[in-house]
């Protein structure tokens, strides 16, 4: 526990030391959301004061295809390591959770990049659900509702249902090799505390704040098991609800964190189809209850779960109050959903971020832009594209640049590969 804390503190302190040398303007940090279609991958770039040609890179999720990996290689420039070798280095890789559309390129990243540290949930895909089934069967066995033969047969059947995917196993093996061969630090939340909740490294209950030139990186959610036992989460809600949420911001000389961007992964905040006024659940509930002062009034937000209806609760969006929202979506799952984006726009209008729906849409960027244009806009941005959307992957990358003066610029860009 203490070793993980010390390693993480060192890692974040190193990543936080920079000035804006090497950038045309006074850049605090830059995020590039790669257009991976139905998935997520983003590169956070932080300037380095001691070596302007060697910025620090943080990778949030790994994308879905080989093409996504090529975009990562184009964004993460090679630099010389301590042995004089030219390598592409990732200072911190974050696997928000274990869904395939977030970790598919894990094996390639750990093969071709030098990864200094990996932050992951430790959530064994299927293990939580299997353990619940096992506990229920043990109760039935103790009450003579089933016999031993039935018990072991049902265990075998459920073990096959909840076994890890090939993608998860390949990624896990790649991480293990990097740990052994290159000394990659494994920041596995399951090792912080067995109950999966008390995973913090700092006195304030989040990952250690970095000072340097005032860049702060905080983990405000992330679990090795679902955080609440009273919510009756479905299997997909349990898995997505474990997502690591990472807050990036600039701290001023009074200790106030500003120009904040929040990565949410597939964080869950509501049961799909529930009332807009339903209380938030899972990761969004956790952030509201634990870190409301940190996550309020964001400059930028990655809309959770690609704009699914089981995320972006009304209470969460009204508190987060993002100026800009980035959506990594693709037509495979018909994201973003009308209901989720309508809640976002309603929160923006309520908080005076914009005056009307047409104005609000100018502050929302999505990686399936052509689907939005081709199939019309209902309730401003609120229309999900048609199920057979034609927007290609890899053409709507989003660049989000936060400046030291507190301003932000967001635009669509091309990435040459």
In the chain, the percentage of residues whose pLDDT exceeds 90 is 31
pLDDT averaged over the chain? 79
pLDDT band at 401 (very low <50, low <70, confident <90, very high): very high
The neighbouring-strand residues paired with 270 are none
Residue 193 has a pLDDT of 45
What does the alpha-carbon distance between residue 2 and residue 8 come to, in Å, rounded to a whole number? 10
Reply yes or no on whether the pLDDT at 15 is more than 80.
no
What confidence score (pLDDT) does residue 285 get?
94
Contact 88, 73 (CB under 8 A): yes
C-alpha 407/C-alpha 265 separation (Å) is 24
330-356 confidence digits (pLDDT tens)? 766 778 888 898 899 999 999 999 888
The C-alpha atoms of residue 184 and residue 198 are separated, in whole angstroms, by: 23
Q: Which residue has the higher pLDDT, 255 or 241?
A: 241
| Cα–Cα distance for residue pair 254/328, rounded to 1 Å | 34
Domain regions of the chain by residue span: 2-125+164-412
What pLDDT is recorded for position 386?
A: 40
Looking from the CA of 26 toward its CB, the CA atoms found within 13 Å total 7
Three-class SS of residue 237? helix
- Kindly give the interhelix angle for 127-142 and 148-161, rounded to the nearest 10 degrees: 170
Give the span between the Cα atoms of 216 and 208, in whole angstroms.
9
Q: Which residues pair with 186 in a beta bridge?
A: 118
Residue 385: predicted pLDDT:
44
| pLDDT band at residue 210 using 50, 70 and 90 as cut-offs | low
Average pLDDT (176-198) is: 67
Provide the β-strand partners of residue 246. 219, 263
- Stretch (H or E) spanning 59: strand 56-60
Residue 158 pLDDT grade (very low, low, confident, very high; cuts 50, 70, 90): low
| pTM of the entire predicted model | 0.82
Domain 2-125+164-412: homologous superfamily in CATH: Ribonuclease Z/Hydroxyacylglutathione hydrolase-like (3.60.15.10)
pLDDT given at position 412: 94
- The answer, yes or no, to whether residue 61 has pLDDT greater than 90, is yes
The SS3 of residue 29 is strand
Nearest-CA neighbor of 57 among 31, 95, 33, 39?
31
In which band, very low, low, confident or very high, does the pLDDT at 254 lie, cut at 50, 70 and 90? confident
C-alpha to C-alpha distance for 347 and 335, rounded to whole angstroms: 19
What are the Cα distances from residue 303, in Å, to 60, 337, 394? 14, 11, 19
Nearest CA among 185, 192, 250, 257 for reference residue 222: 192
């Amino acid at each position: 526990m203490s070793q993980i804390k010390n390693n993480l503190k060192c890692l974040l302190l190193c990543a936080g030391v920079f000035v804006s040398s090497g950038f045309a303007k006074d850049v605090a940090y830059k995020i590039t959301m790669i257009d991976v279609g139905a998935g997520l991958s983003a590169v956070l770039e932080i300037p380095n004061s001691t070596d302007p040609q060697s910025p620090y890179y943080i990778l949030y999720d790994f994308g879905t295809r080989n093409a996504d990996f090529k975009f990562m290689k184009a964004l993460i420039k090679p630099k010389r390591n301590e042995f004089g070798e030219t390598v592409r280095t990732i200072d911190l890789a974050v696997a928000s959770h274990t869904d395939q559309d977030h970790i598919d390129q894990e094996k390639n990243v750990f093969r071709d990049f030098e990864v200094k540290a990996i932050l992951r949930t430790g959530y064994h895909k299927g293990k939580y659900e299997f353990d619940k089934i096992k506990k229920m069967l043990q109760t039935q066995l103790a009450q003579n509702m089933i016999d031993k033969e039935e018990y072991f047969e049902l265990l075998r059947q459920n073990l096959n249902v909840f076994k890890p995917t090939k993608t998860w196993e390949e990624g896990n093996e790649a991480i293990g090799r990097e740990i052994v061969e290159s000394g990659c630090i494994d920041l596995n939340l399951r090792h912080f505390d067995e109950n999966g909740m008390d995973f913090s490294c700092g006195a304030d209950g989040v990952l250690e704040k970095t000072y340097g030139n005032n860049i702060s990186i905080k983990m405000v959610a992330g679990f090795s098991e679902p955080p609440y036992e009273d919510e009756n989460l479905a299997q997909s809600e349990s898995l997505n609800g474990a997502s690591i949420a990472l807050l990036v911001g600039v701290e001023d000389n009074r200790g106030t964190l500003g120009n904040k961007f929040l990565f949410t992964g597939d964080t869950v905040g509501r049961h799909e189809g529930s009332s807009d006024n339903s209380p938030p659940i899972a990761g969004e509930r956790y952030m509201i209850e634990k870190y409301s002062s940190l996550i309020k009034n964001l400059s930028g937000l990655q809309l959770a779960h690609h704009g699914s209806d089981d995320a972006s609760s009304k209470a969460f969006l009204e508190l987060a109050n993002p100026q800009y929202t980035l959506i990594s979506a693709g037509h495979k799952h018909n994201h973003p959903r009308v209901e989720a984006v309508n809640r976002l726009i309603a929160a923006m209008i309520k908080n005076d971020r914009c005056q009307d729906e047409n104005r609000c849409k100018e502050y929302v960027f999505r990686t399936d832009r052509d689907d939005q244009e081709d199939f019309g806009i209902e309730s401003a941005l609120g229309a999900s594209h048609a199920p057979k959307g034609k927007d290609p992957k890899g053409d709507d990358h989003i660049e989000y640049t936060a400046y030291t003066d507190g301003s932000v610029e967001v635009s669509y860009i091309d990435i040459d590969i």
